[in-house]
Amino acid sequence: MKNKVVLITGANSGVGKATATELARMGATIIMACRNKERGEEALKEVRERSNSKKVELMLCDLASLSDIRCFCEKFEEKYQRLDVLINNAGVILPRRQLTKDGFEMQLGVNHFGHFLLTNLLLNLLTNSSHARIINVSSGAHKVGKIQFEDLGLEKRYNLMKAYSRSKLANILFTYELARRLEGTGVTVNCLHPGAVSTNMGVDRETGFGKLIHKILKGFLQTPLEGAATSIYLATSKEVEGVSGKYFYKQKPIESSKSSHDIDLAKRLWNVSEAVVGLKE
């Protein structure tokens, strides 16, 4: 990974931080894209110390703000002439309905729309880099996800699993459609299910019910490093060089849900996403 430039969203905790640490150990230049400055700086210090690498940088980016994403991409292109690996890792799980700064339901807004815009704005850097890789962190929860275009804001009946699972289905639909669009460019796009991981991803595990449930489940959950294994594999392995448009679990390609292979659904989601984030005139 020496001389490789790697951008990881949500790199200040959990799987993202573990991924950053391991890839930094391998010699990559790591850009940690994080929303919170204080937590990001703490994570930056930890990643540098654990990896024994100084080639790790923090850049702030709020995926719940389209203007912030655009500003981030402008700054990134000013500083870096290449991007070898983009790992869209950041994600939120929210028990209550919340909105992004642009008025989108938060889970779809951050987990899908934010990464959709970020990736598209960085495509020139990716296609100009040799054999660049895009990696989208999805989830097995996508299997119960449904994209209901008539209620993207989930104003009628919001619940955590409905919102989360559809955002993870959107990740896979985006992966497959982008892979089709980038065919022949040398850029590969794959997605993955990291497994059940012991992280603080949008859930309060320090108090009350959340703390109790986490304590009960902890013995059955992977560590962040174990959860990061497939992301690291897709970023580094020669075995997947040239492989694109696949869904991985435990470092192996597996079948995703039937709806995730719906090409018409993927195209419709792409067109809606373009319009929503302002890429379509």
Q: What is the set of active-site residues?
A: 164
Instruction: Summarize pLDDT for 57-74 with one digit per residue, the tens.
Output: 999 999 999 999 999 999
pLDDT at residue 271 tops 50: yes
Tens digit of pLDDT for each residue in 183-223? 999 999 999 999 765 445 544 444 444 454 445 444 445 58
3-state DSSP of the chain = CCCCEEEEECCCCHHHHHHHHHHHHCCCEEEEEECCHHHHHHHHHHHHHHHCCCCEEEEECCCCCHHHHHHHHHHHHHHCCCCCEEEECCCCCCCCCCECCCCCEHHHHHHHHHHHHHHHHCHHHHHHCCCCEEEEECCHHHHHCCCCHHHCCCCCCCCHHHHHHHHHHHHHHHHHHHHHHCCCCCCEEEEEECCCECCCCCCCCCCHHHHHHHHHHHHHCECHHHHHHHHHHHHHCHHHCCCCCEEEECCEEECCCCHHHCHHHHHHHHHHHHHHHCCCC
Per-residue pLDDT band for 227 (boundaries 50, 70, 90) equals confident
Which pLDDT score is estimated for 123?
97
How confident is the model over 85-117, as pLDDT tens digits?
999 999 999 999 999 999 999 999 999 999 999
Q: Give residue-wise pLDDT tens across range 111-142.
A: 999 999 999 999 999 999 989 999 999 999 99
With bands split at pLDDT 50, 70 and 90, how would you rate the model's confidence at 156? confident
Compute the average pLDDT of residues 235-260.
Answer: 97
Superfamily of domain 5-277: NAD(P)-binding Rossmann-like Domain (3.40.50.720)
